[in-house]
Each structure stands twice: as structure tokens, then as C-alpha cells.
């Protein structure tokens, strides 16, 4: 597996879009009526507070802020990543029309699966940072991605994970003068970036460009005087970072909560009850009576794309009903912030589910971190269609006693009997498999190898 310079630098095309339009030439503006001549202009200058995006762009321009990686160690990092993540079995599947038969098991691999380029880039930047700064203490503000193998590897590389004091606060006291701090793929909050900018540290930013795109969107909301409706989980690291760049916002985790917001826009209601339900998912001082008349939609990049679009249609219809079809456009705006990689993986498992009966699938295996939002949404697709499916985070979840430990849609971790009629050596096992955007091919290979071995041993 080779991660080219293009993969690492792909951020430029996406992030650059819109960046110059918002880059301030200065943070001081002379405020005077348009008809006033220069001679009549007041001598005092009114200072305009820079926006959070303007401040972030200021931080990025610092010589100690690194986003492009380190060429001096790139070759060795590419080799290391290939050794850690490459899978001969997955390569065989891809070269054989995504199907392989082995030890009484037929495997159908989803056409789009596994690592996205944003995750590859994030890992490469983090690994390069460790090698580029030998002898320096390296920290990371959160898990790099939601994958246990990758985060364990960073621990092995002596990267220090910033300690969480509670759900929303971290202890940065361990970050010393001259240290290196890695920002994970989910990004970091505006407050964390400001704190680190004030310290004498090197910052390595591995934030996925799609996440940055969402930040640009909520900045547009602010400029238009809109309240941001974020389709996402308020406690997820990415959403925590996104809302930190908002002024007024409310997070909705699903269509049910979006319908609650739409109903309040149209009919009002019990304000206290509404705020109690969303108490952890709204901006400070949020007032639904005044802050929901003009809204804009954005989303956590790993959410279910069809649900985000359905929420968008709901909000559009709500504003049309409230303000009429002509004026609705002044009260609702929508920008596409759904990650292509997330959608491609969702479409691929949807295709697999559509063919489940035709292929005679016994079940679909979804491999990825248990706290990975994009992987959890992959499980929802077969589950909602009644196709037997399991979400595991590593091969060790498959037991030699024919049990499987997996995460359910509700988030519970359970153990149950795995393969039905496994002792029947004449019966071929047929399975589908996919993996989340933060899951390396090697994790898929290890999981499938466990199934091959289990079937071979129990059938003999």
C-alpha cells in the first residue's frame, strides 16, 4: 500500500475553495458613512472583532502550524503504513470481482469499503510528525481516528494522548514548551486551537478537509445571520469541533429530533420542555422563539446521507409553510457537506443488501471501531432491511466457540451464537463484508481469516 504525495496534499484543492474569499486583509476597519469624505472621517478607529474563521486562518499561517506533512520522512512512513495495513486477501478480492471462496466460505466484499483518503492522509501526517520530530514530546488531542489498531500504534510510538477531565474538557497542563501537538482527523475545537496557538508548540493539523468544509459552511451561516442546525451527535468529537465555530446552533441526531425542531418552528410549544430535551445540544443562551426563524443546515460528515437530505427537505418545507414559497429562501439555506467517501460506502452496502437474497447471504459483517459513527451507520442499512448483520471492531470478537461479540444498533455490546449449522461440512457459508472509512484492510483480512479457520475446524 503506497500513500502518495497526492494523497497527503489532496487537502489543497478542497480547503482552498472558499478560503481566499474569507481571508481578511486586516482586522481593523474604518467605519464611516459612505457619503463622508476622507477629510471628514473621524480620527478614532473602531476595531472589528475577527470571526472565528479569520482567527483560524491566522493560526494556520503560523510557521509552527503544519498541514502539508514532512517530505524528509515520507518514504519511510509510506513503507510503514503499507506493512501495517496492507492485505493480500483484500487485494485478491478486489482483483476477483470482489468475491473469494476459501475453506467452505464464499465472501462478497462491498465495492467501496475501508480507508478513505482523508483517513490515510491523517495517519500519514501523524506518523510523519513522530518521525520528523525525534526527541520531542508528541501529544494528540484525541484519538486520531476511531480505529483501535491505529490508536494503539500511536501509543506504541510514545504519543501522549491528552487526558480528558470530563466529557467536554481536557487537561493541557502536560503540554510543555517546544512540544509537538497533533490535531486528529475530527479536528479540534476553536478554543483548543486558540490555547495551543498561545503556547510555544509545533501543531500538526491532520483534520479531514471534509470537516473543514463543514466549518466553512457554518461560517457562512453566521455571515447570513442564520442559526446552524447540525445533523450530528452533539458529543461526537467532530461535532464538538464544528459547533465551536458556530454562534447560534442546535444539534439534531436524527429525523425524530429534526421533526421536533420543525414542529416548534411552525407551532411553538413548551419552551422549557424543548430546551430540556436539547440542553446539551444547543448554544449558550439558545432561544427557540427567536433563533429558529432563519436557519442553515450542515452535518457531521459521517452521518447517514439519506437522513441528512431528508432533514433538509423537512426544513425547506417547514419554512415554506411558515413564510410562504417566495420568502422561504430568506429563512433556510442548505450547503452540501456530506462526505463523498461516507456516501460511497453506504451506497455499496446498500447494493449488497439489495442482492442478499440473490446471493443467499447468511449475514453481513461490518468491521470498524465501535465508536466509529460512519461504521455504525453502515450497520443500520442491513439491520433496517432485516438482513442478519454484525458490527465488530477486531478479529478477536469472533470466538473459537462459535460466538461473536458485536455492537448493536442501540450501542450495546453483546455476545451470541455466530454461525448457524456450522458443523455441516456440506453446507457452504456465504457472507458479505464491508468496513468503515477508518478501518485498514488488514483488519478485514484478520476477521475473515478467523471465520475461515472457525468454519474449517468446526466442519471437520
Query: Which three cell numbers, joined as nine digits, stand for 118?
Result: 482523508
Which of these, 279, 300, 282, 299, lies nearest to 291 by C-alpha position? 282
Q: How far apart are CA 177 and CA 139, in angstroms?
A: 12
Structural contact between residues 143 and 119, judged by C-beta atoms closer than 8 angstroms: no
Per-residue cell: 73: 520522512
Secondary structure element (H or E) that encloses residue 105, with its range: strand 105-109
Q: Which three cell numbers stand for residue 364?
A: 453481513
Nearest to 198 by CA among 50, 58, 15, 19: 58
Q: Can you tell me which residue has the cell 486520531?
A: 144
DSSP strands (E only) in 305-448: 332-334, 363-367, 389-392, 403-407, 413-417, 429-435
Query: In whole angstroms, what is the distance from residue 128 CA to residue 60 CA?
Result: 19
Categorise residue 279: left if φ over 0, alpha if ψ from -120 to 50, beta otherwise. alpha
295-299 and 249-252: which strand pairing?
unpaired
Q: What is the distance between the alpha carbons of residues 403 and 419, in angstroms, rounded to a whole number?
A: 8
Is there a contact between 81 and 441 (Cβ–Cβ < 8 Å)? Answer: no
446 closest CA partner among 408, 397, 383 = 397
Work out whether the CA dihedral 275, 278, 280, 286 comes out positive or negative. Answer: negative
d(CA 201, CA 181): 7
Which is catalytic among the residues 78, 238, 257, 307?
238
* 420 part of the active site: no
Cite the active site residues: 238
Amino acid at each position: 500500500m503506497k500513500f502518495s504525495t497526492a494523497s497527503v496534499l489532496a487537502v489543497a484543492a478542497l480547503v482552498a475553495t472558499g478560503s481566499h474569499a474569507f481571508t481578511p486583509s486586516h482586522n481593523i476597519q474604518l467605519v464611516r458613512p459612505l457619503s463622508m469624505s476622507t477629510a471628514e472621517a473621524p480620527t478614532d478607529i473602531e476595531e472589528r472583532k475577527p470571526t472565528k474563521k479569520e482567527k483560524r486562518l491566522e493560526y494556520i499561517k503560523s510557521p509552527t502550524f503544519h498541514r502539508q506533512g514532512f517530505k524528509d520522512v515520507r518514504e519511510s512512513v509510506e513503507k510503514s503504513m503499507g506493512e501495517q495495513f496492507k492485505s493480500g486477501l483484500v487485494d485478491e478480492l478486489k482483483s476477483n470481482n470482489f468475491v473469494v471462496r476459501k475453506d467452505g466460505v464464499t465472501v462478497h466484499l462491498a465495492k467501496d469499503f475501508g480507508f478513505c483518503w482523508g483517513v490515510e492522509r491523517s495517519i500519514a501526517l501523524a506518523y510523519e510528525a513522530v518521525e520528523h520530530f525525534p526527541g520531542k514530546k508528541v501529544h494528540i488531542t484525541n484519538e486520531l481516528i476511531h480505529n483501535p489498531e491505529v490508536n494503539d500504534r500511536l501509543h506504541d510510538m510514545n504519543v501522549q494522548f491528552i487526558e480528558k477531565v470530563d466529557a467536554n474538557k481536557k487537561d493541557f497542563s502536560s503540554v510543555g514548551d517546544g512540544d509537538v501537538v497533533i490535531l486528529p482527523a475530527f479536528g479540534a475545537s476553536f478554543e483548543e486551537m486558540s490555547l495551543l496557538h498561545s503556547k510555544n508548540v509545533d501543531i500538526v493539523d491532520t483534520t479531514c478537509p471534509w470537516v473543514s468544509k463543514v466549518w466553512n459552511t457554518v461560517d457562512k451561516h453566521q455571515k447570513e445571520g442564520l442559526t446552524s442546525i447540525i445533523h450530528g451527535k452533539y458529543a461526537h468529537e467532530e461535532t464538538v469541533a464544528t459547533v465551536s465555530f458556530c454562534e447560534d446552533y442546535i444539534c439534531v441526531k436524527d429525523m425524530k429530533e429534526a421533526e421536533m425542531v420543525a414542529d416548534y418552528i411552525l407551532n411553538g410549544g413548551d419552551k422549557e420542555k424543548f430546551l430540556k430535551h436539547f440542553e446539551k445540544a444547543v448554544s449558550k443562551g439558545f432561544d427557540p422563539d427567536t433563533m429558529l426563524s432563519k436557519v442553515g443546515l450542515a452535518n457531521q460528515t459521517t452521518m447517514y446521507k439519506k437522513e441528512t437530505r431528508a432533514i433538509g427537505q423537512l426544513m425547506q418545507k417547514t419554512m415554506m409553510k411558515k413564510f410562504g414559497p417566495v420568502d422561504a429562501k430568506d429563512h433556510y439555506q442548505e450547503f452540501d457537506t456530506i462526505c463523498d467517501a461516507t456516501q460511497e460506502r453506504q451506497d455499496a452496502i446498500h447494493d449488497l443488501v439489495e442482492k442478499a437474497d440473490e446471493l443467499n447471504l447468511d449475514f453481513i459483517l461490518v468491521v470498524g471501531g465501535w465508536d466509529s459513527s460512519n461504521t455504525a451507520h453502515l450497520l443500520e442499512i442491513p439491520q433496517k432491511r432485516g438482513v442478519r448483520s454484525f458490527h465488530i471492531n477486531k478479529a478477536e470478537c469472533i470466538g473459537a466457540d462459535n460466538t461473536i461479540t458485536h455492537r448493536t444498533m442501540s450501542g450495546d455490546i453483546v455476545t451470541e451464537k455466530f454461525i448457524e449449522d456450522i458443523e455441516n461440512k456440506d453446507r457452504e457459508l456465504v457472507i458479505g463484508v464491508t468496513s468503515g472509512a477508518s478501518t485498514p484492510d488488514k483488519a478485514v483480512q484478520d476477521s475473515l481469516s478467523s471465520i475461515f479457520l472457525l468454519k474449517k475446524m468446526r466442519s471437520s
